[in-house]
Amino acid sequence: MAKFIPLSVPNFEGHEKEYVSDAVVSEWVSTGGSKVGDFEKVFADYVGMPRAVACNSGSSAMHLTALVAGIGRGDEVIVPTLTFIASINPVTRYVGAEPVFIGCDDSLCIDPAAVEAFCRDKCELRPEGLFDKATGAHVKALEVVHVFGNLADMEALMDIAEKYHLIVIEDACEAVGSYFTKGRYAGRMAGTIGDVAGYSFNGNKIITTGAGGMVVSNHPDWAEHAKHLSTQAKSDELQFFHDEVGYNYRLTNLQAALGLAQMETLETFITRKKEFYDRYVQALDGKNGYRILPFKEDVSRSNHWFYSLYLEDDRHKRDEVIGALKEGSIQARPVWALIHEQADYGSCQAYSLEKAQDYRARIVNLPCSTNLTQEDQQRVIDLLLSL
């Protein structure tokens, strides 16, 4: 049986064991201890923000973004349909809001033209904000997801948000380390452009704390509010007073120890991801009915987190390719089922879906772990070329 090649697994080749062991020896393994604050500081410095708030998952980070943005019952949020479910549930159902789904452009991220068309044609702009003509609801925010680490068209999206008075929530869960190199946001990292953003350190992400997340905001008081909500909204040191409904969304000292070590190797991981990506492009793009979907290399430095093999004609069927790779002990997966078709979202408004449907039908995500060997990658390539 050939060696199993996983899709995306953690890589602990740095100081992880040492830092986690320090935490164990110090006996600060839960939510106290110095490493959470250290990790927040290192992460904030890396993304160029004054403050970062650690929490226990990307999902809780996204929930906190919606809470501090003041999104609540009856509000509407414009969201992409091509994303992971945890982009959507926390900023809509968890806070009682309603999504309006929009398809993607060729970056796989939300399509600015379709967002604009919804705001212009389906809504009315009043002094108090944007209102959906069909439902009467306040369209309060736009959520942008940087899919697979590829940056969305933030210039266009921020312009639309400004014009229509929308709060911008960035889901940068997959885009730690991606930043613009050109244009209005040159030098700005994913997650630092909108009003508020969340990141994920789940096990399959470019760096991991086992499970974990981070929130940043361009409003200092929102960041502080996120911290407060993530720590049970406790308003004093001793008496256990709580001034609103909070959550136990804290990261542990053990997880932060992992995160500190991972931050030290993040840039190495990003360099490697690009090398693997380039190798897939060279070997597969334009061959045998395959394309490797591009990242925005001309305007950004992407983290190249997840690679997308696109089946450009009917020579190959997505699930057959995945099945053939599985037969060869290689893990691959389709892009997510579109969210507007999922339980609880079936009756929501959804617009400009053609590209999202096409990418959903034709993408296969290929192994991309930072510890993928050249031989393993060659095995993936050879198998694909043999189909």
Catalog residues that contact ligand PLP under the rule CB under 6 A.
57-59, 62, 83-84, 86-87, 145, 171, 173-174, 200, 202, 211, 213
User: What span, in angstroms and rounded, lies between the C-alpha atoms of 352 and 368?
Assistant: 30
Q: How far is the CB of 146 from ligand PLP (least distance, A)?
A: 8
Residue matched to tokens 């060279």: 282
Q: How far is the CB of 312 from ligand PLP (least distance, A)?
A: 25
Q: How far is the CB of 331 from ligand PLP (least distance, A)?
A: 16
Q: How far is the CB of 90 from ligand PLP (least distance, A)?
A: 8
Instruction: Point out the residue whose Cβ comes nearest to ligand PLP.
Output: 58
Q: How far is the CB of 212 from ligand PLP (least distance, A)?
A: 7
Containing 213, the helix (H) or strand (E) segment is strand 213-217
User: What span, in angstroms and rounded, lies between the C-alpha atoms of 297 and 151?
Assistant: 10
User: What span, in angstroms and rounded, lies between the C-alpha atoms of 255 and 214?
Assistant: 12
Of 137 and 176, CB closest to ligand PLP: 176
Of 87 and 107, CB closest to ligand PLP: 87
* Residues contacting residue 200 through CB under 8 Å, at least 6 positions apart: 57, 58, 59, 61, 173, 174, 212, 213
Contact at 8 Å (CB) between 55 and 214? yes
Contact at 8 Å (CB) between 307 and 272? no
Contact at 8 Å (CB) between 16 and 254? no
Closest CA to 205 of 57, 80, 88, 38: 57
Of 132 and 153, CB closest to ligand PLP: 153
Residue matched to tokens 């992971």: 84
Q: How far is the CB of 97 from ligand PLP (least distance, A)?
A: 16
DSSP state at residue 130 = E
Of 170 and 195, CB closest to ligand PLP: 170
Of 189 and 384, CB closest to ligand PLP: 189
Of 338 and 384, CB closest to ligand PLP: 338
Of 137 and 229, CB closest to ligand PLP: 229
150 by Cβ neighbours in 10 Å (0-12 / 13-18 / 19+) ranks as buried
Q: Record the tokens describing residue 59, joined without a space.
A: 């999902």
Of 55 and 161, CB closest to ligand PLP: 55
Strands, DSSP E only, in 251-351? 290-292, 300-301, 307-311, 333-334, 350-351
Q: How far is the CB of 274 from ligand PLP (least distance, A)?
A: 20
Closest CA to 40 of 238, 263, 318, 237: 263
Q: How far is the CB of 373 from ligand PLP (least distance, A)?
A: 25
Of 115 and 173, CB closest to ligand PLP: 173
Contact at 8 Å (CB) between 355 and 104? yes
Contact at 8 Å (CB) between 169 and 195? yes
Q: How far is the CB of 387 from ligand PLP (least distance, A)?
A: 28
Residue matched to tokens 């226990």: 56
Q: How far is the CB of 61 from ligand PLP (least distance, A)?
A: 7
Terminal-to-terminal C-alpha distance of the chain:
20
Of 83 and 192, CB closest to ligand PLP: 83
User: What span, in angstroms and rounded, lies between the C-alpha atoms of 281 and 285?
Assistant: 5
